[in-house]
Copies of this chain bind each other. A is one copy, B any other.
Amino acid sequence: MITIGVFGAGQLGRMLTLAGIPLGLRFRFYDPVPNSPAGQLAPQVVAAYDDSPALERFASEVDVITYEFENVPVDAARFVEKFVPVFPPPLALEKAQDRLVEKSFFSDLGIPTPRFTASGFNGFDVPAVLKTRRMGYDGKGQFIVRNMDELSFAMTQLRGQDLIVEELVPFEREISIVGVRGVDGAVAFYPLTINTHHEGILHRSVVPVQVHPLQGLAESHARKVMEALGYVGVLAIEFFELDGQLLVNEMAPRVHNSGHWTIEGALTSQFENHVRAMARFPLGSTNPIGAGAMVNLIGQIPPVQDILKIEGVHLHLYGKSPRPGRKLGHVTVVAGTDDLLMGKVEKIESLVCRD
């Protein structure tokens, strides 16, 4: 019986558990916040990430440790690595946690990024984007700067933090690739997902029937990243698409919101593939079943009756109480054609209140 330890007990941990239980896997979670979504399904240790005795005890109770969010302190990951294998490697956390380190890492691998600098606005045109180097997510910790007033406002808001300036890319759309790598070096990639954001938060992901012309390029970028990191598990990379080019925005060393459509939309979900990699099982097929889509439920949950009335949709709630801007669940749908898919997506979206 393999027990997987997970740092973080949010909805991603919950969905890892739902995918892993049928494979005979057990789970234990570690999260400073009690009664988290995954803790409703499996034992959760409530302790801080710098509590060495708690970390050591946790490590002694599991066969492998992974994470379900990328801001787990690297020190905690490195500490438990003394006792059990930790996948993805803590190096991946380190690269993902600092936008400057992350973009430099991509750049060094020859993967195109938007222009960036940590040396202020010298030589940078406006509009540009000012971001914190650390702890940014869901559009938090970043400001578009078009003039001196906006710069001054942003600097006040972000005061005391290390910053990075990035070129504002006039991208046509944001796309992401989700892939998985096994301990044996085997890799598999899901089809590219087209993402739409609303107020900085992912609102919807769509995977059309037709393979995206940049699929091969995105896979080759992702493969480079995985190999450079000795990666094991699911990795997501977000790109801006511009003039047939891909510019990397950021990566997440974990299962990713833009991969939730795979639960019903692919032969093996991202969650199952991540736990397969953790358990050293063979990876599962990433083939899509049809066109697939996912719509996030943010801030509030429409009446469940109304969602379930739409034929063929799948509801995934996270067991969280409503709060503005909070991801509370998502709805997925699979269809044989893009038109059928988008018809369903529109029905779902008509129920979703944007707060």
Contact = CB atoms under 8 A, between A and B. Distances in A.
Contact of A22 (B22, B23, B314): B314
Contact of A267 (B14, B22, B312, B315): B312
B304 A23 contact: yes
B276 A308 contact: yes
A41 interface: yes
Interface residues of A, number: 29
Interface string A290-325: 000000000001001100110110111101000000
A21 interface: yes
B267 A281 contact: no
Nearest to A333: B267
A317 B24 contact: yes
A284 B284 CA distance: 27
Given A276-B308, A289-B289, A308-B276, A316 B22 contact: yes
Contacts of A316: 22
Contacts of A285: 311-312
Interface of A: 14, 18, 21-24, 40-41, 267, 276, 281-282, 284-285, 287, 289, 301, 304-305, 308-309, 311-312, 314-317, 319, 329
Contact of A24 (B267, B284, B304, B314): B304
Nearest to A316: B22
Contacts of A329: 24
Contacts of A276: 308
Contact of A18 (B22, B40, B289, B309): B22
Most chain B CB atoms below 10 A, which of A21, A287, A304, A309: A21
Given A22-B317, A41-B21, A41-B41, A282 B267 contact: no
A23 B311 contact: no
